Amino acid sequence: MRFGIREITYELSLLDHSGSLRRVEFSPTAAKGEAVVGGSHEGILQSAEGWVASLRAGAEVLSAIHALDDKRASPYLVIRVNGVRIACKGGNWGIDDSRKRVSREHLEPFFRLHREANLNIIRNWVGQNTEEVFYDLADEYGLLVWNDFWDSTQTTTSSRMIPLCSLQTRATPYRVSQSSLDRYVVRPK
């Protein structure tokens, strides 16, 4: 049985072009790779509820953005699966082990235990697991994967980051179509 996910969308609190706080639902599927959040430091402003990022110029009119009635800044990110808000709870996944025992038989009990513990997401810590069976098992057990990019934490400099992230994305194109894959997370500049 495969995970019954049709679409993942996100509720985000962002500032529009006039500086007004907006709560939007963002569909990465409808965006087709188009960026919606501005990445500049100037676009991150403090509101009464904390720091808020801005919509990228022109993103407000994209079909991937739908305005919501809620105007609060928090929670900043809400994940929806098939249109339903979910509470993400899960564990971190590091390297499989020192000998890279990554067979289905070795990995499956860990996924089963995650599901039996009522967890619904696994953080693939700095992208240490690169095996297709990892993502297949996540699909089969109904677990989302929060996939960090490798070498994306601590003192990594942004000049090293861009080529590394680009390399990982090109090296693993099959992941983008995995229904379990929730997010690639890259450390910002």
Instruction: Examine the pLDDT at 144 and tell me if it is beyond 80.
Output: yes
- Identify the domain boundary among 22, 52, 84: 84
Helix axes 132-140, 104-116, angle to 10 degrees: 40
* Six-digit token string for 58: 């022109």
Residue 123 lies in a domain: yes
Q: Tell me: do 59 and 130 sit in the same domain.
A: no
Domain that holds residue 43: 8-84
**pLDDT tens for each residue of 26-84:** 988 888 878 888 877 788 888 887 888 899 888 888 899 999 998 777 777 888 888 88
Stretch 119-146: mean pLDDT: 83
Q: Tell me: do 65 and 17 sit in the same domain.
A: yes
Comparing CA positions, the residue from 58, 54, 55, 64 lying closest to residue 27 is 64
Residue 43 lies in a domain: yes
Comparing CA positions, the residue from 137, 136, 131, 135 lying closest to residue 100 is 131
